[in-house]
Amino acid sequence: MAQTIEPRDRLIVALDIPGVADAEAMIARLGDSVSFYKIGYQLGYAGGLSLAAELARAGKKVFVDLKLHDIGNTVARGVESVAKLGATFLTVHAYPQTMKAAVDARAGSNLKILAVTVLTSYDDNDLKDTGSRFGVSELVAMRARQAQAIGIDGLVCSGEEAANLRGIVGTGMSLVTPGIRPAGNAAGDQKRVMTPARAIAAGADYLVVGRPVMEAADPKAAADAIVAEIKAARGAL
């Protein structure tokens, strides 16, 4: 994992907005404070994939968070389509067949594949309800090792798992951490949350932040504050 990433590029703002016009207004409001955006289901299904291509052409980085999981051929075709958008990151669920199909399909492009280990809204009880015999930490570790062996570029994990995963995968994979809540912000529906400084100290490379920026009275100031916290945390390492 390269250590030359600028603090601003480590913040990924989640455009969890119902429409492209509102997303464009927020992007304009954030200006140069944000260089990296995430487009997930809500916006993606409302024209957001076209916006992803526009952002890439404008020099922004884009994280397409579709969490693909299907038969290999279907995953591969989806990866090829997203690669053409100029996106930087694309998520798939960390199942071996899915990951292998995605890695093979992104060959020849600049797209990086991230594997989602365990959603940050899950805890041990939620996994038990799915029939899993593993707890969160065990399942995350197992999937991380599989992802590394397959050639996945990075992992999506909570801040709680970041330090442990660094010990498992070393510095060759990016760790992208959602569930980030600056001090004083409500956890909302996330069960495994962490402040920006703590997540960076734990080994995260990129922080995904949605509501604390999007719902702030001054989104630009909120983004600037998070970038400053990232910069300070990196300087303390």
* pLDDT one-digit tens code per residue, 68-88: 999 999 999 999 999 999 999
- Give the predicted TM-score (pTM) of the model: 0.91
Report the pLDDT value the prediction gives residue 122, as an integer from 0 to 100.
Answer: 86
To which residue do tokens 């299904």 refer? Answer: 45
Q: What is the pLDDT of residue 158?
A: 82
CA distances from 78 to 10, 34, 101 (A): 26, 27, 10
Q: Which active-site residues does the annotation give?
A: 67
Q: Are 182 and 229 in contact (CB under 8 A)?
A: yes
pLDDT at position 192: 46
Domains of the chain as residue ranges with CATH: 7-236 (3.20.20.70)
**Confidence band (pLDDT; 50, 70, 90) for 190?**
very low
